[in-house]
Structure 1
Amino acid sequence: MISKIEYFLKKIVGCILALANIVPSLVVIFNPLLFVMFIPVGVYAVLTWPWIILKDIPDPFHPGESLYWLTYIIMFKRGDILFPALDKWGLIDLSLLVVGSAIFLASFLSWLLNLRRNGDLITDGVYRFTRHPQYLGIILLSLGLTVRSLRPISFIAWITLLIGYLILASLEERSLIKTYGLRYEEYSRRTAFIIPCLRFNISDWLSVRKPYRYALFIVIWLILVILVLVGARNLAIAFR
């Protein structure tokens, strides 16, 4: 009887020690700052909802119509394997979803493993190709879902998500520069911001420290949204 009690006590202690070993990671996972990363995803989800209120908002570019057409369906050519249809995925949207999910999971796992080691700046693995691989993964997989949805409003939602992550990544870099200084600046010079192999020589007035960078992002968002409002109307049809 005593031996059985000792056995169960050892099991309980072992479980407690195993749990204590992963607590640092769990604390970080449930840190409120981590959830900031998913704010653009939440905005995306809200914007893609087919809001009835759009019926009461006039379309500024198509007199006599409301913005409810944004919830209509974009019909691609039948039999085109690249693009989706109502009853199937296409190669483009499915590939974006798979690749984006793989990038996000690989970078998130790398981040967690780094926390278990020392929590230092990560510059290896997928972080060799992009400074923000988790954002890249979410951007790509959400683009796949956007193409699959076949709705203009989803593209406006994705544009909002994209600009949101560009702003979020820029704000994050301001903090990283303060934390790691020249070490992070050297890393940023040899590694792409978000899109791998795509590096620009950004002037100082568009650096992450300057407000002009964020104003430019807002202007780009506005231009892209207007392009969708102007150009997608003839592609969208009501499906009842």
Structure 2
Amino acid sequence: MNRQLSQSVFLVFLALVFTVGLSFASVELPYLIDRALIENVPTPGFDSQGDEVNRLKTELFISHYHLRAIGYACLGAVLLLVGVGFATRKTGLAALGALAFMLPVFAQFAGVMFFLAGLGLLNVVWLPVLDVSFAMSGLGEVIKGPYDLLRWGFARVGMNGYWVIVYFFVGSGLLIFFLGTLAWLRARARGEGVAKAWVYRISRHPQYLGWILWSYGIFILLQQGRYPRRSWGISASLPWLLSTLVILAVAMMEELHMRNRHGTEYESYRRSAPFLFPLPGFLERVFALPFRAFFGKGRPDRKREVLSVLGLYGVLLIAASFLIYGNGFERISAGLRSSEAQREYLAGVMADIRTEENWRRQSALTRSLGRQGESGVEALLELLGDPDTELREYAAITLTEFPSELAFDALSVAVTDPVEDVRWRASAALGALGTPEVVGPLVPLLEDSVGHIRLGVVLSLAALGAEEVTPIAVGLAGSDSPRERVEGIRALGALGSDGSLDVVLRCLTDGESRVREEAVIALLRIGSSGAIEPLEALLEDEDHLVRIYADEALKRLR
């Protein structure tokens, strides 16, 4: 009796250690690692997709550390782990690959702008995907469905519900993982081939269920947006979705192994307990419908069928993400609506915009007009002349994201708006058109009373190659303000003229490191061989990023 009690206590302790270790490694440890990396590894501090210059700096940083090659190798290794695990039936390897797919979720713990800074370095695993588009990582957004449904339910009773949902998923996941680990250890200690007691009666794979619930809670926790992330453009939904699909496929592979090894004993247990958790019969049939449509049965019996499940449901869920969360239904319906129906639809959206009290919702509705083609632009032009200042601003912001030459005349008027935020946003929208015609309406703003409007217009005109701004940019490069010096140098780099080379070269010895960084980038954009020798001197600069940019610029100029 004492021996059995001691064994039970030991098993409980061991399961508890596993669970606490998982909790610490997944919640507290990421913060500690992120803080250590930020304090000890110098990285840029900007939004990597903010503008053309930031994208160039990001590319130089990635190139210097060979991060792209490392990222492709890492993703290749992850896919190899999963592939070899399934091919050899060594499901532990596939499960390890599934965990590696999850790494970009933990990258969301990074509290920085630059997407590879701090724990964001884990995003390197997904560089091959991000190289296609930062939006690719959001192709799993359908996983937000349960969370959104629960939030909607809480909202109906006047509650926010966010933290309740987070604690529920994290807490229940850890509890089920603990109970599953304990039950599995007890079964091993008793020499049982099939664990089927306790929590195994309600789930054939309680550890996997616990992991899925817990990791979903972590995913939701990181949706709170407590940090400025570029990260704004990187979602963790696709990594979580793929990781979970691989884990489910691993569970199916393990079932094939258990059935072959234990025969009727396991088959009898399989019929008595649900795969992950109890579901009503009609829901089980709904979830099995796609597989049944292809294979004529409700569950896979062979390895290739398991892999087919992985691919089939992956494609369906990604397609659902595009249709539901990627505005796919909206785009399709817009193309199918008649002209009259489209007018009625836009009239409804406009009415909602004008009556909506929540500014986030109002802004989102205005942005939705940008996806409606020419008819949406016409509605935006109407908002651009609205008496409501915020609506004019939202319309200008949307026209910056969805440029249209149809908006040229209205934006040319909007840049004279008495409200500075409207003028600022309208000038950015004009610059986004990128046509020579916008130079005329923008030039008067070089005399605007608001400094950030003047600076923004200088950069817009420089990007268009308007030589009128060269004297202004030269003057800014010699300003007492570091910010103005940075903007002036950036404008000279955009103009790309050898005539301003001497001005930029003088800035290489500026006392501000960010000014020297910008001068290196400007010299690279100008592309003059006369910059090689001065850049070589910067290879010994005291600032880490200046040295990186200089080194990479030299590789491209030589």
TM-score bracket, normalised by the shorter chain, equals 0.5 to 0.7
CA distance in 2, matches of 1:69, 1:160: 11
- Could you say which residue in structure 1 is the equivalent of 2:132? 57
User: Any stretches of 5+ residues in structure 2 without a counterpart?
Assistant: 1-6, 19-89, 108-114, 116-122, 139-143, 145-150, 224-231, 289-295, 328-360, 365-558
Q: Could you say what secondary structure the match of 2:235 adopts?
A: helix
CA distance in 1, matches of 2:195, 2:243: 25
Structure-to-structure mapping, 1:1-240, within 5 angstroms: 37-46=95-104, 49=107, 50=115, 51=123, 53=127, 56-58=131-133, 66-67=134-135, 70=138, 81-83=160-162, 90-150=163-223, 153-197=235-279, 200=284, 204=297, 206-209=299-302, 211-229=304-322, 231-232=324-325
CA distance in 1, matches of 2:297, 2:175: 34
For the 8 Å contact 2:104–2:236, the answer to whether it is kept is: no
Q: 1:121: Cα distance to partner?
A: 1.0
For the 8 Å contact 2:170–2:215, the answer to whether it is kept is: yes
CA 1:148–1:232 in 2, change beyond 3 Å: closer, same or farther?
farther
Q: Could you say what secondary structure the match of 2:161 adopts?
A: coil
Q: Could you say what secondary structure the match of 2:236 adopts?
A: helix
Q: 1:69: Cα distance to partner?
A: 8.0
Please tell me the residue identity of whatever aligns with 1:43. F
For the 8 Å contact 1:135–1:165, the answer to whether it is kept is: yes
CA distance in 2, matches of 1:174, 1:67: 37
For the 8 Å contact 2:137–2:236, the answer to whether it is kept is: no
Q: Could you say what secondary structure the match of 1:130 adopts?
A: coil
CA 1:115–1:219 in 2, change beyond 3 Å: closer, same or farther?
same
CA distance in 2, matches of 1:174, 1:220: 19
TM-score for both structures, normalised by structure 2: 0.30
Q: Deviations over 1:203-236 (max 9, x none)?
A: 5474232623431331211222243345445799
CA 1:204–1:94 in 2, change beyond 3 Å: closer, same or farther?
same
For the 8 Å contact 1:41–1:161, the answer to whether it is kept is: yes
Deviates more, 1:116-125 or 1:42-51: 42-51
CA 1:109–1:163 in 2, change beyond 3 Å: closer, same or farther?
same
CA 1:232–1:149 in 2, change beyond 3 Å: closer, same or farther?
farther
User: Any stretches of 5+ residues in structure 1 without a counterpart?
Assistant: 1-17, 59-65, 84-89
For the 8 Å contact 1:205–1:212, the answer to whether it is kept is: no
TM-score for both structures, normalised by structure 1: 0.65
Please tell me the residue identity of whatever aligns with 2:318. V
- Higher normalized contact order (CA 8 Å, seq sep 6+, divided by chain length): 1
CA distance in 1, matches of 2:307, 2:92: 22
CA 1:205–1:106 in 2, change beyond 3 Å: closer, same or farther?
closer
CA distance in 2, matches of 1:181, 1:147: 40
Please tell me the residue identity of whatever aligns with 2:103. A
Q: Deviations over 1:2-37 (max 9, x none)?
A: xxxxxxxxxxxxxxxx9xx99xx9xxx9xx975754
Q: 1:174: Cα distance to partner?
A: 0.8
CA 1:197–1:230 in 2, change beyond 3 Å: closer, same or farther?
closer
Deviates more, 1:105-114 or 1:207-216: 207-216
CA distance in 2, matches of 1:101, 1:47: 18
Q: Could you say what secondary structure the match of 1:207 adopts?
A: coil
Q: Deviations over 1:111-145 (max 9, x none)?
A: 11221221421111000111111111111111111
CA distance in 1, matches of 2:307, 2:275: 15
CA distance in 1, matches of 2:244, 2:252: 12
CA distance in 2, matches of 1:92, 1:131: 25
Q: Deviations over 1:171-191 (max 9, x none)?
A: 001110111101111111121
For the 8 Å contact 1:48–1:153, the answer to whether it is kept is: no
CA distance in 2, matches of 1:91, 1:195: 21
CA 1:148–1:233 in 2, change beyond 3 Å: closer, same or farther?
farther
CA distance in 2, matches of 1:197, 1:205: 15
CA 1:233–1:148 in 2, change beyond 3 Å: closer, same or farther?
farther
CA distance in 1, matches of 2:136, 2:197: 46
Matched positions, count: 196
Question: Greater helix percent: which structure?
Answer: 2
For the 8 Å contact 1:171–1:208, the answer to whether it is kept is: no
CA distance in 2, matches of 1:176, 1:207: 14
| Cα-Cα RMSD | 4.0
Please tell me the residue identity of whatever aligns with 1:41. L
Please tell me the residue identity of whatever aligns with 1:82. G
CA distance in 1, matches of 2:308, 2:319: 17
| Identity rate, percent | 21
For the 8 Å contact 2:173–2:211, the answer to whether it is kept is: yes
CA 1:111–1:122 in 2, change beyond 3 Å: closer, same or farther?
same
- Could you say which residue in structure 2 is the equivalent of 1:12? none
Please tell me the residue identity of whatever aligns with 2:132. I
Q: 1:107: Cα distance to partner?
A: 0.5
Q: Could you say what secondary structure the match of 1:153 adopts?
A: coil
